[in-house]
Structure 1
Amino acid sequence: MDEQERPKTTDDQAKGMSRRQFLVTSGYAVGGAVLGGVLGYLLPKRQEAAPPAAPAAEGNDYGQALMFFTQEQFSIAQAATERIFPTDENGPGAKELGVAYYLDHQLASEWGFNARDYMQGPFFVGEKVQGYQGRLKRRDIFQIGLREMQNYSQSQYGKAFVNLTEEEQDAVLTAFQNDEVPVTTISASGFFSMLRSGTLEGVYSDPLYGGNKNMAGWAMRNYPGSQMSYTQIMDKDFTKVPPRSLKDHVAHS
């Protein structure tokens, strides 16, 4: 019988399924290797239920998908950054600008692993002008800080941080800023400083990195973004240039 006409046996079907499963598994493995193990938990394990899916991307913006935070951590970060950079008459706040996604993506990257920092001991208490001197990576600091924000909110108000009023959330953030929260593993004020800096970065960074959605952060500052050149308007009167993202240049290259 011709090979093409031979009916498929149970062994053939099993081989097909094994190959399909291999392709799926190897695809996850490659992603995990590239991201330093961020996606490692997606690898299927025997007798275990599949992990919960990350929140769906808003609209068609697939850059707004979680890579590091749990859903709870993301919700706390989103609420906290909104209080640091709230919506007002000048324009959108951190939540609408996608700042929590920016933080999530940065913590999943080399920045979150302190890949370019010297992280070997011995560790001493450094001066403020020396910057961070600890053994914990930024991703560890954020995980601890967000958990302590939740614990402090529960102890002071009996509610999760995201369920507090805006005034109560401000009080929690102020307590961290002033080192009034008894945290032993990290500096409460150091975590707040990192959170605040990350918030401003997410507001004004290129949208390619997850924040500054629709370049609205730049629009509030009349900032032109990533323009390749200004030669076409250098000899003209003042010209207001619409902002451009790095991905705009990729799309038109």
Structure 2
Amino acid sequence: MSVTVRLGVTRRGLLSSTAALLLTASTIQARTIGGGLPWAPDAGNPPTPIWPAPWAFFTPEEATAVEAAIERLIPNDALGPGAREASCAIFIDRQLAGSYGSSERLYVRPPFAEGTPQQGLQSPLTPAARYRVALAALDTYCRTAYVGRIFARLGPEERDLVLQELERGTVRLDGTDGQAFFEMLLQNTMEGFFADPIHGGNRDMIGWKLVGFPGARYDYRDHVTKHNQPYPLPPVSITGRAEWVQPRR
């Protein structure tokens, strides 16, 4: 099995324990209803499907660094494809290019002070700005520590070591908190691994297949009383399954 950054925790254990939480507590903005009553279908702001395309936020160099990191956080191993194969970098890129990246729906006015762990991060930097500063600082650190090589040019074991040191807080990144950046990157990667594919990650429902999550199926009545039995049907995205799409004539 490939190295998991979380020491002492197996890959499946880590992902299974966080899947349910991340499906409800994600960076993805919930659907809201606009206007007055009566409510009608599509009256809110349903998500727009995201298709692979040029990066919306990351520069090519930043995207390469993020992909080099996430493939070590959730590696491709005997249990199945990892974060890179699941297009988690696309998910993070689109989130940073949207309201999450700009902290559009958060209160971000001063004064700023170091808060307690219960208060969360207290920073004037938006998530998008934190990624931009941290990725540049990460390459600066690696050039010094690894004879001129940037993070994406390191070998798998070297990248694991850098990520472990970031997690422990022993790597200092100029202009930002390296440990806080690691926590954000890990959280966003897991969110992309388990989010509905409509948001750009979890390609081919890789994450859902790993933990046995059925997805957005509308009816489970035939299986409610079948306790401790695997769900026999494949997962379904908000947009359905690829084989359901009728070819154009």
TM-score where L is the length of structure 2:
0.72
Other-structure match for 1:108: 97
1:1-253 equivalence runs, <5 A: 63-65=51-53, 66-157=55-146, 158-234=148-224, 238=229, 239-248=231-240
- Counterpart residue type for residue 245 of structure 1: S
Q: Name the stretch that deviates more: 120-129 or 70-79.
A: 120-129
* C-alpha distance in 2 between matches for 1:236 and 1:147: 51
1:60-86 Cα deviation digits (max 9, x unpaired) = x97122111111100000010001111
**Preserved contact between residue 50 and residue 200 of structure 2 (Cα < 8 Å):** no
Query: Could you say which structure has the higher helix fraction?
Result: 1
For these two proteins, the number of residue pairs brought into alignment is 192
Other-structure match for 1:14: none
TM-score where L is the length of structure 1:
0.71
1:76-102 Cα deviation digits (max 9, x unpaired) = 000100011111100001111101111
- Secondary structure at 1:139's aligned position in 2? helix
**Preserved contact between residue 224 and residue 243 of structure 1 (Cα < 8 Å):** yes
**Preserved contact between residue 52 and residue 90 of structure 2 (Cα < 8 Å):** yes
* C-alpha distance in 2 between matches for 1:167 and 1:213: 26
1:196-232 Cα deviation digits (max 9, x unpaired) = 0011111111111111110011111111011122134
* C-alpha distance in 2 between matches for 1:115 and 1:133: 16
**Preserved contact between residue 138 and residue 173 of structure 2 (Cα < 8 Å):** no
Other-structure match for 1:20: none
Could you list the runs of 5+ residues in structure 2 that have no partner in the other structure?
1-48
* C-alpha distance in 1 between matches for 2:111 and 2:94: 30
What is the percent sequence identity of the aligned residues? 34
Structure ID, larger Rg: 1
Report the alpha carbon displacement of residue 185 of structure 1 after superposing the two structures with TM: 2.3
**Preserved contact between residue 126 and residue 133 of structure 1 (Cα < 8 Å):** yes
Where do 4+ consecutive residues of structure 1 move more than 6 Å?
none
* C-alpha distance in 1 between matches for 2:140 and 2:240: 43
- Counterpart residue type for residue 175 of structure 1: E
Q: 1:212 to 1:81 in 2, by over 3 A?
A: same
- Counterpart residue type for residue 153 of structure 1: C
Q: Name the stretch that deviates more: 183-192 or 218-227.
A: 183-192
* C-alpha distance in 1 between matches for 2:101 and 2:140: 23
* C-alpha distance in 2 between matches for 1:202 and 1:70: 19
**Preserved contact between residue 56 and residue 94 of structure 2 (Cα < 8 Å):** yes
- Secondary structure at 1:82's aligned position in 2? helix
Q: Which has the higher contact order (CA 8 A, sep 6+)?
A: 2
- Counterpart residue type for residue 237 of structure 2: S
Q: Name the stretch that deviates more: 232-241 or 221-230.
A: 232-241
* C-alpha distance in 1 between matches for 2:71 and 2:86: 9
Could you list the runs of 5+ residues in structure 1 that have no partner in the other structure?
1-60
* C-alpha distance in 1 between matches for 2:153 and 2:172: 22
RMSD: 2.1
